């Protein structure tokens, strides 16, 4: 339950090693959050994230969670919620991959889509039901501007984010009147481990800047956050560009 001033007291990060997810948790800790759960596949990055957040004197729990193992989601997430109410859940897992590799190996494309979309649908529905039972809480879904209009150089990834974005919007509508809500976040190019070695796109940003936009969106009760905000106006135009021109622009 949020405190008397509306401050978030507990946060669950699905994809616990996510740089955006961890940066968001760090900012919420600065705003008085006292329980943090990092849920992800075991890895040095997950352990390091927990150690960094633990240094702030906050109770940090690490839970083994695999987005692709959808048959485990209800049990694992149920146990997290049984340990106490969760004010904010950040759904931050995802796979970028390379379009050329997907073209050569359709099975790899299916694996990526399973994580980005199927895993998110499964986890999102479980979390939404728990938030509904609580009567409060926000599910923050990390979508992407790549899903607003897909480009041919990453259309598998973009299509998975387009599906996730639509799912999250519909899920948010279904929660109206329950006290629970969904906030969709659409970052542009973010300089993280996932994008290391790639050429930054215009209006590129950082994990910490996206986290700042997320926390601001939570405070303001927004249903959609663009990061950086200028992308909302930009894609308001780009979504209507004729396809022949879009093919040339989006190389």
**Catalytic center residues:** 157
Give every CB contact of residue 32 below 8 A, 6+ residues apart in sequence.
3, 7, 8, 9
82 in Cβ contact with 6 (< 8 Å): no
CA 183 remoteness from chain centre: 10
Beta strand 10-14 with 35-40 is parallel
Task: Count the neighbouring beta carbons within 10 Å of the beta carbon of residue 192.
Answer: 17
Alpha-carbon distance 223 to 169, whole Å?
Answer: 8
Task: Count the neighbouring beta carbons within 10 Å of the beta carbon of residue 7.
Answer: 14
Alpha-carbon distance 246 to 150, whole Å?
Answer: 10
Question: Over 23-48, what HEC string results?
Answer: HHHHHHHHCCCCEEEEEECCCHHHHH
**To which residue do tokens 């997950």 refer?**
46
**To which residue do tokens 């970052």 refer?**
187
């Amino acid at each position: 339950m949020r405190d008397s001033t509306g401050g978030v007291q507990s946060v669950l990060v699905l994809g616990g090693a996510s740089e955006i997810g961890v940066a968001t948790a760090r900012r919420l800790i600065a705003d008085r959050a006292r329980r943090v759960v990092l849920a992800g596949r075991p890895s040095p990055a997950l352990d390091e994230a927990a150690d960094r957040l633990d240094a702030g004197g906050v109770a940090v729990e690490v839970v083994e969670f695999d987005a692709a193992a959808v048959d485990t989601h209800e049990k694992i997430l149920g146990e997290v919620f049984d340990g106490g109410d969760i004010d904010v859940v950040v759904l931050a897992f995802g796979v970028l991959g390379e379009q050329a590799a997907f073209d050569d190996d359709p099975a790899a494309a299916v694996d990526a889509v399973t994580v980005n979309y199927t895993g998110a649908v499964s986890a999102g529905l479980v979390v939404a039901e728990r938030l509904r039972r609580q009567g409060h809480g926000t599910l923050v879904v990390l979508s992407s501007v790549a899903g607003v209009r897909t480009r041919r150089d990453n259309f598998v990834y973009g299509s998975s984010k387009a599906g996730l974005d639509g799912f999250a919007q519909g899920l948010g509508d279904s929660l109206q009147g329950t006290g629970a809500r969904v906030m969709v976040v659409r970052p542009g190019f973010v300089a993280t481990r996932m994008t290391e070695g790639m050429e930054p796109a215009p209006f590129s940003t950082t994990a910490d800047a996206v986290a700042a936009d997320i926390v601001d969106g939570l405070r303001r009760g927004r249903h959609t956050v663009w990061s950086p905000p200028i992308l909302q106006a930009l894609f308001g135009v780009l979504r209507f560009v004729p396809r022949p021109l879009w093919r040339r622009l989006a190389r």
